[in-house]
Structure 1
Amino acid sequence: MMKTTAFILYSHLFIFALMLTALWVANLLWSGEDIPFVQIIIAAGLYFGYSYMISNLILRFWGGARKQRVISVICYLILFITVIPIVQILIHDVLPLVGIIFFDDSLPENMPKFYFRIVSGYLIANLLAMIVAIGNRYFTVKKEKKKLDQDLRIYRDRVVGFQYTSHFLTSIFLTKFGEMLLNDVPKDKTTKRDIVQFLAYLLEVERPGDRKSWAEEMDQLHCFIRLLSRHYGEKAILYTETLHDRLYPAIPAGILFFPLENCLKHAHISTDQPIEFRLDGNHDEIVLTCQNYWSPKDERLEPETGFEMLRYKLGQMDTETAIAIKRTENTFLVRLRLKLQPDEKAKL
């Protein structure tokens, strides 16, 4: 944020110097009468001020949340509506008090021409602001891309030499989904950021006794869902979420998406045979349900294979837990229940 502010400030100092020079040269070459240098400074200052404010509003609109965008639009509309009266008051009422006169009292005022100059100057300020904002955006995105590429290389190098100690991690990295995490370099920044986030998280997920906040675990779950949807297709992962109470206790890392592990290695995953993944929560319990079309590589494989890590994680919780596993002829269902104690939320 500080670098963005510095970039905008230095850019507009350059704009101030540029407009000052341009106006001074125009005065020397084309003006019928000599314009005092102080007036040129004030005009360049107006370009500087309006361009600076508009460029900040543009960047806040581009990078802000919905509320910030609405505020930015409102502020811009206020600037647009008030530019003529503010400049008019400045030139006719304020500056004459200190002896700076932009007009000749002996001649009748040409108000349409006066308003045209204000509007045209405001449009130039908008153009300058847009150039600064686009330049800042370009260098920021370029820097973020470079940082993401560096992080991606670092985490992939760490993961390549990582000991896969659980069925869950093996399921991830020995599938085509894992190949996507380790080899694919997506062009879009969002997916690349998700891969970096998820790889970093996997390096910590088996740490014993490590608990994460509910908000952090939900963020990791959403990241995982986005990556699965990108790899298998949007309609291949049918995720629904119903939480009646947003305050839930800290939980061991990975619990929310451990039921997906058998889906990755032993399931048909496609838009025709999607994974149905549902998270429900109320004041008393959290219920996670995962159902998929079953396609094990070895028919002798027992349906509970691979849940050792999940059971270990659940054993770290001071609350009642239950796992229900059901396998039919072609579907596999896992339902995980976490009972919440009455005083559980008081620990938050």
Structure 2
Amino acid sequence: MKNARIRVLMHLIIAAFIFLWNYFLNYFYAQEEIPLLHIIAISSVYILFYLAISIFLEILFKNPNLIRAIVFLSYLIFAWNITWIIQEIIYSILPEIGIVLFNSNVPRNDTLFHYRIWDAFISLHIIALIYYVILRFVMYYLETKNLQKELAIKRERAEDMKYTSHFMKNIFSESFGQILLNNEPKDTRTKMDIIEFLGYILELEELGKKDSWGYSLDKLQCFIRLLRAHYGTESVVFNLINDGREINQLPRGLLLFPLENCLKHAYISPDYPINYKLIKENCTIEIECTSTTNHLKIKEKSGNGFLFLKEKINSSDYLHIMENTSNLKDYTLYLKLTPKYDAKTKIQYSSLG
């Protein structure tokens, strides 16, 4: 609603500018007095075309490629026929409501008329571009201000948490946690990801909660974007195979755990990337995360973390196989989740076999 008010206000300001421009232009340079009603009429035509152009610009910059292509094609048709459209307005539509902007006793000079149409059309494009640039600047400023406020609130809440989970203790003990709690990212995407991820960490404190596959996957991808922003674009290699089927809800934070555990034991950089493979097929989920071992971190124990994860899985509708192996070079965590109840036969599995 606030964005709509800003747009309306800017359109009103530009509409007033167009009217005043035409008024003073005719007042100082017209060879004969032009009725106010005529100035209002021609200004209204200008404003109408300015609004059309500005809407074209907003759609072109904000929508998917298919919509952009359709709108751009429509715009080309509109621009190609602009002289005919203006002629119809001036010579057919306006005279019907008693507004005649031409002298029927003087022969038409179509060349000059078309030149003036294109001159005004180009000027309206410039005004529409100025509107769009100012609008984006204002929106960016307001969005940044709101994001900073929301980020401050999330960070304050995160710093006051008890960190009951293994996951959160590890995250905030790493240098990576500094970008979540202290560093101020410059780009809006990273700032939004931090807000989203901190909000999810607050949700992780709610024990026993479950999330849909789509929601869990979205938070995992948010986590990966943050890791890449901090350690480098190639620092996390993510492979996803998704058959698109509906599955039972997952324990909250389940997809994040293997990646966080790899992070705990690993070097992580574009030269030593973490490889995270996620497969969802026939209602079964397989996760494999591999990283290059950090000799200083390999001595740390993960027993509490695995107990925490198993407790989460045991309260879910899944049976599991979980293995973790490590040596002087690599650390690998493998997790397989199979639903306790077959979706078709409704028969409970006694084991994974």
Q: Is this a same-fold pair by TM over 0.5?
A: yes
Q: Equivalent residue for 2:235? A: 236
Q: Equivalent residue for 1:95? A: 94
Residue 55 of structure 1: how far off its partner (Å): 1.7
Residue 189 of structure 1: how far off its partner (Å): 0.7
Residues in 1 aligned to 2:299 and 2:95: alpha-carbon distance in whole angstroms: 94
Residues in 2 aligned to 1:282 and 1:343: alpha-carbon distance in whole angstroms: 13
Residue 305 of structure 1: how far off its partner (Å): 5.0
Residues in 2 aligned to 1:235 and 1:162: alpha-carbon distance in whole angstroms: 32
Seen in structure 2, the aligned counterparts of structure 1 residues 81 and 299 have a Cα distance that, compared at 3 Å, is: closer
Q: Equivalent residue for 2:215? A: 216
Residue 229 of structure 1: how far off its partner (Å): 0.9
Q: Equivalent residue for 2:350? A: none
1:267-323 per-residue CA deviation (whole Å, 9 max, x = no partner) reads 111222211101111124111110111225366545655222211211121122221
Residue 192 of structure 2 aligns to a residue whose secondary structure is: helix
Question: What letter corresponds to residue 239 of structure 1 in structure 2?
Answer: F
C-alpha contact 2:247 2:283 (8 A) present in aligned 1 = no
Q: Equivalent residue for 2:318? A: 319
Residues in 1 aligned to 2:298 and 2:82: alpha-carbon distance in whole angstroms: 76
The 5 Å alignment of 1:169-188 reads 169-188=168-187
Residue 194 of structure 1: how far off its partner (Å): 0.6
Residues in 2 aligned to 1:48 and 1:108: alpha-carbon distance in whole angstroms: 28
Residues in 1 aligned to 2:94 and 2:266: alpha-carbon distance in whole angstroms: 77
Residue 105 of structure 1: how far off its partner (Å): 2.4
Seen in structure 2, the aligned counterparts of structure 1 residues 131 and 298 have a Cα distance that, compared at 3 Å, is: closer
Aligned-pair identity (%): 32
Seen in structure 2, the aligned counterparts of structure 1 residues 214 and 242 have a Cα distance that, compared at 3 Å, is: same
C-alpha contact 2:266 2:294 (8 A) present in aligned 1 = yes
Q: Equivalent residue for 2:254? A: 255
Pairs aligned (count): 344
Residues in 1 aligned to 2:308 and 2:166: alpha-carbon distance in whole angstroms: 8
Residue 198 of structure 2 aligns to a residue whose secondary structure is: helix
Question: What letter corresponds to residue 147 of structure 1 in structure 2?
Answer: N
Residue 74 of structure 1: how far off its partner (Å): 3.3
C-alpha contact 2:165 2:308 (8 A) present in aligned 1 = yes
Residue 177 of structure 1: how far off its partner (Å): 0.6
Q: Equivalent residue for 2:195? A: 196
C-alpha contact 1:304 1:325 (8 A) present in aligned 2 = no
Q: Which has the higher contact order (CA 8 A, sep 6+)?
A: 1
Residues in 2 aligned to 1:221 and 1:167: alpha-carbon distance in whole angstroms: 17
Residues in 1 aligned to 2:2 and 2:56: alpha-carbon distance in whole angstroms: 16
Question: What letter corresponds to residue 225 of structure 1 in structure 2?
Answer: I
Residue 11 of structure 1 aligns to a residue whose secondary structure is: helix
Q: Equivalent residue for 1:22? A: 21
Residue 277 of structure 2 aligns to a residue whose secondary structure is: strand
C-alpha contact 1:279 1:287 (8 A) present in aligned 2 = yes
Residue 162 of structure 1: how far off its partner (Å): 1.5
Residues in 2 aligned to 1:309 and 1:60: alpha-carbon distance in whole angstroms: 48
C-alpha contact 2:275 2:290 (8 A) present in aligned 1 = yes
Seen in structure 2, the aligned counterparts of structure 1 residues 115 and 127 have a Cα distance that, compared at 3 Å, is: same
Seen in structure 2, the aligned counterparts of structure 1 residues 308 and 296 have a Cα distance that, compared at 3 Å, is: farther
C-alpha contact 1:12 1:51 (8 A) present in aligned 2 = no
Seen in structure 2, the aligned counterparts of structure 1 residues 13 and 101 have a Cα distance that, compared at 3 Å, is: same
Q: Equivalent residue for 2:47? A: 48
Residue 4 of structure 2 aligns to a residue whose secondary structure is: helix
C-alpha contact 2:264 2:297 (8 A) present in aligned 1 = no
Is 1:59 the equivalent of 2:58? yes
